[in-house]
Amino acid sequence: MVDDREPAARRPGGRTARVRAQVLDATVRLVARYGFAGFRYEQVAELAGVHRMTVYRNWPDREKLVAAALTRFGEQEVPVPDSGELRRDLVDMLLGLAAGLESTTGRALFQVVQGARENEEVRRTVEQVFQRRADLFGQRVDRAVERGELPPVDRRLLGDLLSGPVHLRVGRDLGPVTRADAERIVDVVLAGIRATATP
């Protein structure tokens, strides 16, 4: 039997992997609820169903625990649709983004971004999570340009133009982002990109 008290990083499989997942999931839920500095290790242990020494031994400080939880989240690939129909793919992507932002993990990420800017390890982890998402989007944009669906475009600018209204709506709690909302955003952005493309 695997001892739950052993560092999770040393024993990646079996029971230790389950314990690790439970602790990191609990951390995400608590960060979403209380913010970066508002949760206690005892709460993590209780919510995860493990002994509190398991949490302390594997993640000796709050920054390492939160960074590990966000890293696990970042490793969960968020697919960017590629049906061959750009407009539909971007609409589906925005709906997926909205759902992610409204999820427990999305709220936790927002709390960390707001409350842990001064912590280098956590800040770096957040940047890596965002970069992973940007890379996946950029690959889809590159394929769209190659196929002639889009003119050559600044991938970051396009991503910001598309995702900005979704972040704003969710962040201000203005109600759910509907498919009609996503379609309007995509149509306006694509029209602007195509109208201003260099011949």
Summarised one tens digit per residue, pLDDT across range 85-99 is 999 999 999 998 888
Segment 117-131, tens digit of pLDDT: 667 777 777 787 778
Helix runs in the chain, H state only:
14-34, 41-48, 52-58, 62-75, 86-102, 104-115, 120-147, 155-171, 179-195
CA distance 129 to 53: 28
> For the whole model, what pTM was predicted?
0.69
Write the CB contacts of 16 (distance below 8 Å, at least 6 apart in sequence).
Answer: 2, 4, 6, 8, 10
Q: Which two tokens stand for residue 104?
A: 């427990």
Q: What is the pLDDT of residue 7?
A: 42
Q: What is the pLDDT of residue 74?
A: 65
Fold of 77-195: Tetracycline Repressor; domain 2 (1.10.357)
CA distance 7 to 9: 5
Q: Are 32 and 105 in contact (CB under 8 A)?
A: yes
Per-residue pLDDT band for 2 (boundaries 50, 70, 90) equals very low
Long-range CB pairs of 160-168, under 8 A, 24+ apart, other chains included: 161/189, 161/192, 161/193, 162/90, 162/93, 162/94, 162/186, 162/189, 163/94, 163/97, 166/94, 166/97, 166/98, 166/101, 167/101
Q: Are 33 and 71 in contact (CB under 8 A)?
A: no
**C-alpha angle 7-12-14 in degrees, rounded to nearest 5:** 105
* CATH number assigned to the domain covering 8-62: 1.10.10.60
pLDDT > 80? residue 173: no
Segment 67-120, tens digit of pLDDT: 888 777 766 656 688 888 999 999 999 998 888 778 767 776 776 766 666 677
Residues 182/97/164/190 CA torsion (nearest 10 deg): -50
Most confidently predicted of 39-43, 108-112, 177-181: 177-181
First to last CA, the chain: 66
Lowest mean pLDDT among 39-43, 105-109, 183-187: 105-109
CA distance 163 to 9: 35
Other beta carbons less than 10 A from residue 46's beta carbon: 13
Q: Are 37 and 66 in contact (CB under 8 A)?
A: no
CA distance 19 to 4: 7
Residue-range domain boundaries for the chain: 8-62, 77-195
Q: What is the pLDDT of residue 30?
A: 87
